[in-house]
Amino acid sequence: MTRLSVNINKVALLRNSRGGNLPDVVVFAQTCERFGADGITVHPRPDERHIRKSDVYALRDAISVELNVEGFPSAEYLNLLRQVRPAQATLVPDPPHALTSDHGWQVKEQSAFLYPIVSQLKDWGIRVSIFIDPDPEHVEAAASIGADCVELYTGPYAHDFSQSPEKAIAPYIRAAQKAADLGIRLHAGHDLNLLNLRFLRVNLPHLAEVSIGHALIADALYNGIKETIRLYKQALS
């Protein structure tokens, strides 16, 4: 079964909009774990507009499932990972003030930058995932620099899904096959929801993990977090 990692950035954004600690992101993460989430994902940004560095430290000590910390590998991000030692780090190429991730690494061209970072994180005992566009060449390049996983950026898939699911999924199938051939772990994330998730899962049989935040948190407003996690895990089964 594909693992579900719940991205809780939007919960932190709601908290920060009023100050104080309501909703409590740690309690929410623990609640997700209790209702079946396989992991918790956070993406702290330099301006701390949602997840704060203090949240990352608190989550490390509060949950039993895997903590996945996404981010651009700046000195500040790497120092946070050195101290927290999460189960997984997902490296994304976002500039500091990007609204959200909207593309993957050009891994071959940026390998000289990424390789020592990947090596350092693995020395710290952290599993490393590289966020990429669905291209077999990027998968191969990520494997060549020692990454443990690739996370396929599924924004284009989600955008094109309603018009032609078969066309939307085609490049992801090719990238996924390359990952299977190389023995590198396959993840996916961005704009996945209950309408497009099942089709992705069926067509990517080696998919190990998805990270979902925005749509899942929105669905929880309607259905409650317990039922929402059940529905997402059902789509991944």
- Give the CATH number, domain containing residue 25: 3.20.20.70
- Count of residues for the chain? 237
Active-site residue, 190 included: yes
Catalytic residue among 70, 140, 151, 209: 70
Catalytic residue among 43, 50, 138, 187: 43
Active-site residue, 43 included: yes
Q: What is the tally of structural domains in the chain? A: 1
Active-site residue, 206 included: no
Q: pTM score, two decimals?
A: 0.96
Catalytic residue among 50, 138, 187, 190: 190
Q: Please compute the mean of the pLDDT values over residues 5-33 and round it to a whole number.
A: 97
Q: What pLDDT score does 98 carry?
A: 67
CA distance 133 to 141: 12
Q: What pLDDT score does 99 carry?
A: 64
182-217 tens-digit pLDDT? 999 999 999 999 999 999 999 999 999 999 999 999
164 dihedral zone (left: phi>0; alpha: psi -120 to 50; beta)? beta
Q: What pLDDT score does 1 carry?
A: 86
Instruction: Report residue 103's pLDDT band, with 50, 70 and 90 as the boundaries.
Output: confident
- Domain of 219? 3-236
123-181 tens-digit pLDDT? 999 999 999 999 999 999 999 999 999 999 999 999 999 999 999 999 999 999 999 99
Residue 205 neighbours by CB distance under 10 Å? 11
> 79 versus 101: which is more confidently predicted?
79
Mean pLDDT of the chain: 96
CB neighbour list of residue 72: distance below 8 Å, 6 or more residues apart: 91, 92, 93, 94, 95, 96
Q: What burial class does residue 163 get, using C-beta atoms within 10 Å of its C-beta: 0-12 exposed, 13-18 middle, 19+ buried?
A: exposed
The CA-based angle 11-14-15, given to 5 degrees, is 90
CB neighbour list of residue 144: distance below 8 Å, 6 or more residues apart: 111
